[in-house]
Amino acid sequence: MKTQFPRNQMMLSLAMALASGGVQAQSADQTLPSPSQPTAFTMSSGTERTQEQLAVIFEHADLSLKIDPATRSITGKAILKFKAKSNLTRLVVELDKNLPIDAVRVNAVDIPMSAVSNPEGRLSVQLPQTLKTGEVADLEIRYHGVPRIAQRAPWDGGFVWTKTPTGEPWIASAVQGEGCDLFWPCIDHPMGKPNAMSLHFSVPAPLVVAANGISKGMEEKDGWRTYHWLARMPSTYGISINVGPYSLMEGQYKSRFGNTIPLKMWYLPANKAKAEGLFAEFAPMLDFFESRIGPYPFGDEKMGVVETPHLGMEHQTVNAYGNEFIKSPHGYDWLLHHEFSHEWFGNQLTNENWDDFWLHEGFGSYMQPLYLQYLRGERDYQVGLFEQRNRIVNKFPVVTGHSMSEHEVSNGPGNDVYFKGSLMLHTLRSQIGDELFFKSIRQLVYGRDDPKPGNFQPRYSTTKEYISIVNKLTGKDWSWFFKSYLMNPSLPKLVSTREAHRLLLQWQVADGTEFPLPVEVSVNGKVHRVAMKQGKGELSLPVNVVYTIDPGSKILRDEARIEEWRSDVIARRKSSK
């Protein structure tokens, strides 16, 4: 274990923390040449958008891909519909420069290649005439090539080209860290979502494609099958390719909100019995999220899961699953639950910038102890939290307050966006109570208190907005709370001093600001709540009394025992190498 987690360790550490077992991505066939590596720009998702990208509404993307397992190549046509918010002389998107461009058209007019440039993966198209405010441009890009091959998906982004145990092609994409531009022209930024996206994926018959959104049918011609899909406002890295000799398991879920949600799972035929076991978990998970948070955001499309040759990823409405159907000791499939949580935290609610990535992963991670509380009660809830607590590193701030790429976040706070975010939310819940806590989440996720199917759309948010929501609901300013946990590398430290007849308590925060978080103390079994005005408090104690600070484990704080354990583990691992 490293004390600082680069991205290729980030999700692996999540798996280690929450479950035993798991899978490794299967190796691709190495008999074919590997593609050239993308530029550093392409490999880093979330770079600030250009003025041209900020000046358009991305109304629709129509993506056609021919996926050839024999050559591990793709042939693509993307038609991107942009509406101008101000006058524009060029359009800008991102695409890996290792995917050669064959032709570019704007509104059916051929664009000379001299007007097209893509030196580092930021593709610029000079328009034949100014696109005026309110006008629409259909940017058509034809391209081909061998997309980046992931050596260890999903921690290392790209395509996986492998075979099933019975020898058929098994293909998947996973590009969260590197971005959508690894295989289609897009605006590679969290706020680069198209309002809608049509997908047309062609594969050799009799292979099957599972993709985002609603199925619009399949047609077969000359030994090739083309599958058509339509997705509503998909997250950019959430668009995925999943190809294999799949069988389809289907069902329905009657939502507490009155709608019926299609349930779909694509699985390898040999795993039918195991897939049935996983499929049985769909309804309980839906009931949990809908009862705790609110309506499943994509109930008009589907809850979809597809078996993949890599561990998993939160691809919108078609979550990638490769956990080999292994349940955790808590009796549920942690991987399915975590990726499914991102339908709310990541796909419905999307961070405006990667700097607010904890809005995806912190909330998503907290949903797992909450689910254990829902399923098993208080013991499993506390155990789940403690498992996460031991993974907090405290080397970098979770939120910096300025624009960040996914790469910078993953190589900075890394796992802390998961676990520090989760334990902070646990602490907040203990302070403001369940009613206001879950109301704050509904407002964050849906932008309203009364979400119902049809009255909300996917939205963007920030840490700043969530703090504002909590402040408004509670009638208090909690800025100090979020600042201490999210913007300081280290945790608040509670210093306790026992004197003859009293217990003195004092919070210490790295930046020296006040941290007036109340603390509970159990004295001979009776719990007292100590006010911590200006970060200090005291409690009278009789002689020889037995007391416990924070007996309910409600507060995330610096604890020497955990840091000593972590240091010992690191030292032992270093000495064993």
State pLDDT tens for residues 158-190: 999 999 999 999 999 999 999 999 999 999 999
Q: Is the pLDDT of residue 101 over 60?
A: yes
Q: 58-86 burial string, b = 16+ CB within 10 Å, else e?
A: bebbbbbbbbbbeebbbbbbbbbbbbbee
How far apart CA 59 and CA 137 sit, in angstroms, is: 10
Q: What digits encode the pLDDT tens for the residues 517-534? A: 999 999 999 999 999 999
Angle in degrees, CA 351, 369, 452, rounded to 5: 55
Does some domain include residue 470? no
Q: Domain boundary residue among 276, 293, 325? A: 325
Q: Domain boundary residue among 273, 301, 325? A: 325
Does some domain include residue 182? yes
Sign of the dihedral through C-alpha 550, 555, 558, 559? positive
Put simply, whether the predicted model's pTM sits higher than 0.85 gets the answer: yes
Q: What digits encode the pLDDT tens for the residues 423-436? A: 999 999 999 999 99
Q: Is the pLDDT of residue 9 over 80?
A: no
Q: What is the pLDDT of residue 2?
A: 29
Amino acid identity, residue 544?
Answer: N
For 464, residues 6+ apart whose C-beta sits below 8 A from its C-beta are: none
As a whole-number percent, the residues of the chain with pLDDT over 90 amount to 90
> Is there a contact between 312 and 321 (Cβ–Cβ < 8 Å)?
yes
Q: What is the pLDDT of residue 30?
A: 46
How far apart CA 196 and CA 239 sit, in angstroms, is: 11
Q: What digits encode the pLDDT tens for the residues 75-88? A: 999 999 999 999 99
> Is there a contact between 296 and 452 (Cβ–Cβ < 8 Å)?
no
Of 452, 442, 308, residue with least CA distance to 363: 442
Does some domain include residue 10? no
**380 torsion bin: left (phi>0), alpha (psi -120 to 50), beta (else):** alpha
Q: Is the pLDDT of residue 575 over 70?
A: yes
Does some domain include residue 449? no
Mean pLDDT, residues 370-392: 97
Question: Coil, strand or helix: which one is 423?
Answer: helix
Question: Coil, strand or helix: which one is 282?
Answer: helix
Q: Is the pLDDT of residue 356 over 60?
A: yes
Residue 45: DSSP 8-state: T
Q: What is the 3-state secondary structure (H, E, C) of 298-329?
A: CCCCCEEEEECCCCEECCCCCEEECCCCCCCC
Does some domain include residue 518? yes
In angstroms, the first-to-last Cα distance of the chain is 12
Of 356, 361, 364, 352, residue with least CA distance to 459: 352
Mean pLDDT, residues 257-284: 98
Does some domain include residue 479? no
DSSP structure string for 213-255: SEEEEEEEETTEEEEEEEEES--TTT---EEES-EEEEEEEE-
Establish how many alpha carbons lie within 13 A of residue 523's alpha carbon, considering only the half-sphere containing its beta carbon: 16
Q: What digits encode the pLDDT tens for the residues 456-513? A: 999 999 999 999 999 999 999 999 999 999 999 999 999 999 998 999 999 999 999 9
Mean pLDDT, residues 220-227: 98
> Is there a contact between 45 and 355 (Cβ–Cβ < 8 Å)?
no
Specify burial of residue 192 (Cβ count, 10 A radius: 0-12, 13-18, 19+).
buried
Mean pLDDT, residues 22-51: 74
Q: Domain boundary residue among 296, 325, 354? A: 325
Q: What digits encode the pLDDT tens for the residues 293-346? A: 999 999 999 999 999 999 999 999 999 999 999 999 999 999 999 999 999 999
Structural domain boundaries, residue 58: 23-325
Of 47, 45, 37, 43, residue with least CA distance to 99: 37
Angle in degrees, CA 387, 359, 81, rounded to 5: 140
Look up the CATH number of the domain holding residue 532.
Answer: 2.60.40.1910
């492998």: which residue's tokens?
Answer: 162
CA 555 distance to own-chain centroid: 25
Does some domain include residue 348? no
Q: What is the pLDDT of residue 571?
A: 85
Specify burial of residue 206 (Cβ count, 10 A radius: 0-12, 13-18, 19+).
exposed
Q: How many separate domains does the chain show?
A: 2
Tokens (6 digits) for 225:
């099958």
320 forms beta bridges with 306, 313
Average pLDDT, the chain: 93
| 193 phi and psi angles, rounded to 5 deg | -65, 135
pLDDT band at 351 (very low <50, low <70, confident <90, very high): very high
Amino acid identity, residue 319?
Answer: N
Angle between helices 463-474 and 479-486 (to 10 degrees): 150
Q: What is the pLDDT of residue 577?
A: 74
Q: What is the pLDDT of residue 543?
A: 86
Establish how many alpha carbons lie within 13 A of residue 274's alpha carbon, considering only the half-sphere containing its beta carbon: 15
Amino acid identity, residue 299?
Answer: G
How far apart CA 188 and CA 178 sit, in angstroms, is: 9
> Is there a contact between 257 and 285 (Cβ–Cβ < 8 Å)?
no
DSSP structure string for 189-217: STT---SEEEEEEEEETT-EEE-SSEEEE
How far apart CA 215 and CA 209 sit, in angstroms, is: 10
Q: Is the pLDDT of residue 64 over 70?
A: yes
Amino acid identity, residue 56?
Answer: V
Look up the CATH number of the domain holding residue 171.
Answer: 2.60.40.1730
Q: What is the pLDDT of residue 33?
A: 59
pLDDT band at 32 (very low <50, low <70, confident <90, very high): low
Does some domain include residue 411? no
109 forms beta bridges with 106
